[in-house]
């Protein structure tokens, strides 16, 4: 048995390769299904849009300025409370307050909605009201848009405006309450200092009257100078202590009300905190940009978020350090004040030896001056607080009131229809691809090479009157492939088989034999399909005697060969049905028979049973020079075909290729690539109608 010849067509591609041309053609052929699915989606989208109740959104715009401390100078009040990024926590807090259930309850009370549905039976009226509300800050500004969505446009506008006014009132009330508490504390301290000042002045007057002395206004005594300096230090420490007590009192009140300590003057003036605020601002900007590109779980987003959290912790630590430093300084001032007072007393005792009466009077005068100075400081602070409060306006104002909207925001019918069309189109594509996936047959000539890894020798259209010329051309291509695959000048044994019955292998064999014979080549067809022999019926010959007669009765082979109506075409029919066809076809005598035919014929075409039915074709493939596999279009499971091809390749290396049979070229537009669409033309001698 000779070695396999080089195949004529190009080798097959891998079944794993994505074939863009194939899937493009598949989608084009399924365009009607996809268009229908898109149309159904459009109708459903329009129905959903028409059935939904329109909802209207009314928007009011607020301006929220940074907070200003309750205790500050007039200049600080005029300058303001810093930029947006220095107060990011404040703004985020205000946005949450605008969505809080407490504010919602206040609005429900203001609108008298508790007795109206759906608030009548709601367990949380404030939360229910906030379900209608959305808050959206305007980027790069201090403006906030508060929107209320409702089925009634007038109610949407009314609710939005009431929510904005209620929020403004709540903000004013909170700030006024904080300012009143600070002013009340200063007034209490001022009253106590005023009482101390009056008592000091009275003691000085009584001492001066009792001793009948005039206190010198300028003394060069070292003791007097020391007492003067100590008293000055004592006054400064006491004044500083009072200021620190006021600041720490404010810190305690801010913590009690849950306010952030960013607005604390000592924190706002700290260079490190200002640097941290700047870094936080840059990181927040970077985080916003990353969130537009990535999801929250992305490593870059998490990295920037971690940096923000770390800087916030550092900022909180720094603020705590500042507050702790103020507390430490207060403790030091308290001790220093006590130490200074002790030192003054000691100096007084020393000075009493020099001028007891003068020193006592001077001490009383200094005490009175100290009380007066402290009183002046507190009075100035109280006046500055009042002035700042009168200069400072409310930090929340209504910029634009909501008006009843004229067009609904939901449903967006065009958008809904577009989404429905896309979903329907996607479903149509899925149906086309799913149908293609579930239909596991050979439906494309390129699948023969791509999936089966076998060369495609010819594509034969279905046998219709309009396709006769194309059918003839297909068999011409098959004959050309056999000519190029011919190994030597001796007779060539070509086995024609299929995977399953009714695939057209006998028709292919007879049309190929008729075409070869009409070309002047002596051709014989051997019917080895002993169970369902058809060659004799197709050629109008008797079945007996035939092939099995040669083996059973050992008659002369040349006497069993019959001529046909086609010149140069001969046939060896099947003969009687033997009891065990595989045993008969597996003999060495079959090879001897074929070698005898090689000497007298140029082409020996063997018709065999399908591969999936019996093993006859595998037994005969050993003695064949070429094996042709006939595959009917869109009929047999291609996995079964692939298994039978593997069986053939284990039996012989001479598998030449496949013939794809019975293709409807009018239904498959891409097959025009293989054949030109032309009508008419004369029939060749291989007219398939003659043998089909």
pLDDT, tens digit (0-9, with 9 covering 90-100), for 189-227: 777 777 777 777 777 677 666 654 544 544 446 767 877
- Reading the block at residue 144, the tokens are 């906030």
Q: Do 68 and 263 touch, CB atoms closer than 8 A? A: yes
673 C-beta neighbours (distance < 10 Å), count: 12
- Select the more confidently predicted residue: 297 or 578: 578
pLDDT (tens digit per residue) in 431-488: 888 877 776 776 777 777 777 788 888 888 877 656 677 888 888 888 888 888 887 7
- pLDDT at 7 exceeding the cut of 50: no
Least confident of 554-558, 634-638, 656-660, 669-673: 669-673
Q: Span 664-683, mean pLDDT?
A: 46
Nearest to 635 by CA among 511, 498, 534, 507: 498
Report the C-alpha gap between 122 and 456 in whole angstroms: 74
Q: At residue 22, does pLDDT exceed 80?
A: no
pLDDT score of 673 = 43
Looking at residue 401, its pLDDT comes to 86
105 against 605, higher pLDDT: 605
Q: Output the pLDDT for position 208.
A: 64
Does residue 398 carry a pLDDT above 70? yes
Average pLDDT on 158-166 reads 85
How confident is the model over 322-333, as pLDDT tens digits?
777 878 877 887
Alpha-carbon separation of residue 383 from 187, 251, 345 (angstroms): 11, 21, 34
Residue range 162-169: mean pLDDT, rounded: 84
684 or 509, greater pLDDT: 509
What integer pLDDT is reported at residue 214 of this predicted model? 46
Range with the poorest average pLDDT among 527-541, 562-576, 676-690: 676-690
Among 85, 130, 115, 336, CA closest to 233: 336
- Polymer length in residues for the chain: 692
pLDDT given at position 128? 81
Q: What is the rounded end-to-end Cα distance, in angstroms, of the chain?
A: 32
Handedness of CA 61, 67, 70, 75 (dihedral sign): negative
Burial readout 252-287 (b: 16 or more C-beta within 10 A, e: otherwise): ebbeeeebbbbbbebbbebeebeebbebbeebeebb
CA distances from 8 to 454, 456, 489, 651 (A): 11, 9, 18, 21
CA–CA separation, 44 and 24 (whole Å)? 28
Instruction: Identify the H or E element spanning 201.
Output: helix 153-211
Tokens of 635: 């009929």
Say whether pLDDT at 670 is over 70: no
Q: What per-residue confidence (pLDDT) applies to 19?
A: 64
Average pLDDT over residues 160-168: 85
pLDDT the model gives residue 690: 41
Task: Decide if 74 contacts 384 (C-beta within 8 A).
Answer: yes
Report the chain's mean pLDDT, rounded to a whole number.
76
The half-sphere exposure of 67 on its side-chain side, counting CA atoms within 13 A, is 27
Q: How many CB atoms lie within 10 A of CB 29?
A: 16
Distances (CA, A) of 455 to 11, 108, 206, 593, 671: 6, 80, 130, 29, 17
Higher pLDDT: 415 or 268? It is: 415
Q: How far is CA 75 from CA 378, 388, 408, 591, 625, in A?
A: 18, 9, 49, 117, 108
pLDDT(104) > 60: yes
Average pLDDT of the residues in 87-94: 79
Residue 498 makes CB contacts below 8 A (sequence gap 6+) with 504, 505, 610, 611, 629, 630, 631, 632
Q: List, for residues 572-613, the tens digit of each pLDDT value.
A: 888 888 888 888 888 888 888 888 888 889 899 998 888 887
**Three-state DSSP class for residue 148:** strand
Residues 665 and 464: beta-carbon distance below 8 Å: no
- 404-421 mean pLDDT: 76
Six-digit token pair at 186? 């200063």
Residue 456 backbone phi and psi in degrees, to 5: -95, 115
Residue 85: pLDDT over 60: no
- List the one residue out of 45, 158, 44, 59 whose CA is nearest residue 110: 158
Q: How confident is the model at residue 262 (pLDDT cuts 50, 70, 90)?
A: low
pLDDT of residue 679: 41
* Amino acid 683: pLDDT: 39
Question: What is the reported pLDDT for 108?
Answer: 82
> Cβ contacts of residue 420 below 8 Å, gap of 6+?
41, 42, 44, 45, 46, 48
């Amino acid at each position: 048995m000779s070695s396999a010849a080089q195949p004529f067509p190009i080798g097959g591609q891998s079944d794993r390769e994505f074939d863009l041309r194939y899937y493009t053609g598949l989608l084009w052929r399924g365009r009607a299904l996809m268009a229908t699915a898109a149309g159904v989606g459009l109708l459903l989208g329009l129905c959903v849009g028409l059935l939904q109740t329109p909802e209207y959104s009314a928007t009011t715009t607020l301006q929220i300025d940074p907070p200003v401390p309750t205790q500050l100078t007039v200049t600080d009040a005029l300058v303001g409370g810093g930029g947006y990024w220095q107060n990011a926590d404040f703004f985020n807090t205000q946005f949450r307050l605008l969505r809080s259930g407490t504010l919602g309850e206040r609005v429900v009370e203001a609108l008298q909605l508790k007795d109206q549905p759906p608030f009548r039976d709601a367990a949380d009226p404030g939360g229910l009201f906030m379900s209608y509300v959305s808050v959206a800050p305007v980027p790069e500004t201090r403006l906030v848009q508060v929107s209320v969505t409702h089925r009634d446009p007038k109610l949407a506008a009314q609710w939005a405006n009431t929510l904005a006014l209620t929020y403004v009132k709540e903000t004013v009330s909170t700030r006024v309450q904080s300012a009143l508490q600070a002013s009340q504390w200063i007034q209490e301290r001022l009253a106590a200092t005023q009482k101390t000042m009056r008592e000091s002045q009275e003691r000085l007057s009584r001492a001066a009257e009792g001793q009948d002395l005039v206190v010198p206004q300028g003394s060069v005594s070292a003791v007097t100078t020391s007492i003067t300096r100590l008293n000055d230090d004592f006054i400064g420490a006491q004044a500083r202590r009072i200021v620190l007590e006021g600041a720490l009192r404010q810190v305690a009140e801010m913590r009690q009300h849950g306010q952030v300590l960013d607005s604390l003057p000592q924190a706002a003036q700290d260079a490190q905190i200002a640097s941290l605020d700047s870094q936080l601002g840059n990181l927040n900007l970077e985080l916003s940009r990353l969130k537009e590109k990535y999801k929250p779980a992305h490593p870059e987003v998490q990295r920037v978020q971690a940096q923000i959290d770390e800087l916030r912790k550092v900022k909180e630590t720094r603020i705590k350090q500042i507050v702790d430093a103020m507390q430490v300084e207060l403790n030091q001032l308290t001790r220093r004040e006590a130490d200074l007072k002790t030192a003054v007393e000691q100096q007084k005792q020393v000075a009493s030896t020099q001028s007891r009466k003068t020193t006592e009077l001077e001490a009383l005068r200094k005490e009175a001056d100290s009380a007066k100075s402290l009183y002046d400081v507190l009075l100035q602070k109280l006046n500055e607080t009042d002035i700042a409060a009168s200069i400072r306006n409310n930090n929340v104002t209504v910029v634009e009131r909501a008006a009843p909207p004229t067009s609904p925001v939901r449903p967006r019918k065009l958008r809904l229809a577009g989404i429905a069309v896309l979903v329907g189109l996607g479903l149509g594509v899925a149906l086309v691809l799913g149908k293609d996936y579930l239909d596991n047959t050979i439906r494309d000539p390129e699948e023969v090479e791509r999936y089966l890894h076998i060369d495609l020798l010819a594509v034969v259209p279905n046998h219709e009157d309009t396709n006769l010329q194309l059918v003839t051309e297909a068999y011409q291509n098959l004959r050309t492939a056999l000519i190029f695959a011919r190994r030597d000048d001796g007779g060539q044994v070509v086995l024609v088989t299929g995977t399953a019955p009714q695939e057209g292998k006998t028709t292919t064999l007879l049309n190929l034999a008729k075409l070869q014979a009409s070309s002047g080549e002596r051709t014989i067809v051997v019917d080895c399909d002993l169970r369902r022999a058809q060659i004799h019926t197709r050629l109008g010959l008797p079945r007996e005697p035939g092939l099995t007669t040669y083996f059973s009765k050992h008659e002369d082979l040349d006497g069993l060969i019959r001529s046909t109506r086609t010149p140069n075409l001969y046939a060896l029919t099947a003969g009687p049905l033997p009891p065990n066809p595989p045993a008969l076809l597996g003999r060495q005598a079959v090879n001897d028979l074929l070698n005898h035919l090689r000497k007298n014929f140029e082409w020996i075409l063997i018709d065999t049973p399908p591969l999936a039915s019996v093993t006859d074709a595998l037994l005969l493939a050993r003695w064949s020079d070429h094996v042709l596999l006939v595959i009917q279009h869109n009929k047999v499971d291609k996995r079964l075909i692939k298994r039978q091809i593997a069986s053939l390749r284990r039996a012989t290396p001479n598998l030449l290729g496949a013939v794809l049979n019975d293709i409807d070229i009018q239904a498959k537009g891409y097959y025009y690539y293989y054949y030109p669409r032309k009508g008419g033309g004369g029939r060749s001698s291989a007219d398939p109608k003659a043998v089909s």
